[in-house]
């Protein structure tokens, strides 16, 4: 890591403390963390869940230090499969946590607006995981444009620090901010029971190939 990457990593640790982001499991294979916030915008999800501005919602954060690193030269099929397995495993752990942890029982949805490189492949992976992606809300006024820039810059810097190959050849212009949501019911329905790994991997291999 260079000085900028070290600064980003230190600021990320501080932000997790300030925002109350926590590890919901001690499973070493988990690549997700959790937080809680108030919804800034509303949404109606595919299962009928309605998110209203001001509702308390969950936020799923990537555990950057544990994310599978893209090898030099770019993403490969083996990396994509490792990423999918890690995310699916983490969502199974999350489904169990949501059912067992009393303070999470009233949380109906997880999401918000996030900066992300929304490539066609990314849309497919998100849909496969059960994440719903909505049309962006263009920022209005100088203050909203400043927030929008910061929320696109921060994930770029995190990826640069923890998974540098993921931003090779990309610029900040490649990152866009869109609402992304996954319903509690979707997490529990899809991931509350052990998946059939060989069947899942075969489907993923077909999509990525």
> Among 18, 15, 20, 29, which Cα is nearest to 65's?
29
pLDDT for 57: 97
- Reply yes or no on whether the pLDDT at 27 is more than 50: yes
User: Are 176 and 152 a contacting pair, CB within 8 Å?
Assistant: yes
Predicted pLDDT at 198: 41
Q: Which of 149-163, 175-189, 190-204 has the lowest mean pLDDT?
A: 190-204
What confidence tier does 194 reach under pLDDT thresholds 50, 70, 90?
Answer: low
In 10 A of CB 80, how many CB atoms?
19
Residue 205 has pLDDT above 80, yes or no: no
pLDDT of residue 199: 44
User: What pLDDT score was predicted for residue 151?
Assistant: 87
pLDDT at 206 over 60: no
Please write the tens of the pLDDT for every residue from 104-113: 999 999 998 8
Sequence-ordered list of residues with C-beta below 8 angstroms from that of 207, at least 6 positions apart, any chain: 124, 128
Q: What pLDDT was estimated at residue 190?
A: 94
Backbone φ and ψ of 132, nearest 5°: -100, 125
| % of the chain at pLDDT higher than 70 | 91
* Residues paired with residue 32 on neighbouring β-strands, in sequence order: 62
Please state, in angstroms and rounded to a whole number, the distance separating the CA atoms of residues 91 and 33: 10
| Predicted local distance difference test score (pLDDT) of residue 201 | 46
Rounded to the nearest integer, the mean pLDDT of the chain is 89
pLDDT above 80: residue 207: no
DSSP letter string over 137-202? ----HHHHHHHHHHHHHHHHHHHHHH-GGGGTT--GGG-EEEEEEEEHHHHHHHHSS---HHHHHH
- The CA dihedral of 194, 197, 202, 204, to the nearest 10 degrees, is 60
Out of 77-86, 89-98, 192-201, least confident range: 192-201
Percent of the chain predicted with pLDDT > 90: 67
CA distances from 20 to 9, 33, 113, 147 (A): 17, 10, 18, 20
Q: How far is CA 15 from CA 12, 66, 154, 180, 191, in A?
A: 5, 18, 12, 21, 29
Q: In the 8-state DSSP scheme, what is residue 111?
A: E
Task: Tell me the pLDDT band of 14, cut-offs 50, 70 and 90.
Answer: very high
- Going 113 to 115 to 117 to 121, the CA torsion angle's sign is negative
Integer Cα distance of 92 and 97 in angstroms: 9
| Range 68-93 average pLDDT | 92
């Amino acid at each position: 890591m260079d000085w900028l990457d070290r600064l980003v990593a230190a600021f990320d640790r501080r932000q997790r403390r300030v925002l109350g982001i926590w590890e919901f499991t001690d499973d070493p294979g988990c690549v997700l963390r959790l937080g809680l916030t108030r919804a800034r915008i509303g949404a109606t999800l595919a299962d009928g869940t309605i998110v209203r501005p001001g509702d308390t919602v969950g936020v799923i954060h990537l555990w950057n230090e544990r994310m599978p690193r893209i090898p030099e030269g770019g993403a490969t099929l083996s990396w994509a499969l490792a990423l999918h397995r890690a995310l699916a495993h983490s969502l199974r752990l999350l489904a169990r946590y949501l059912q067992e942890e009393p303070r999470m029982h009233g949380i109906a949805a997880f999401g918000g607006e996030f900066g992300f490189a929304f490539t066609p492949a990314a849309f497919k992976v998100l849909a496969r995981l059960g994440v719903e992606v909505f049309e962006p809300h263009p920022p209005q006024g100088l203050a909203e444009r400043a927030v929008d820039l910061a929320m696109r810059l921060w994930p770029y810097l995190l990826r640069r620090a923890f998974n540098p190959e993921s931003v090779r050849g990309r610029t900040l212009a490649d990152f866009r901010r869109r609402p992304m949501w996954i319903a509690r019911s979707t997490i529990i329905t899809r991931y509350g029971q052990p998946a059939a790994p060989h069947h899942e991997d075969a489907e993923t291999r077909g999509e990525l190939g």
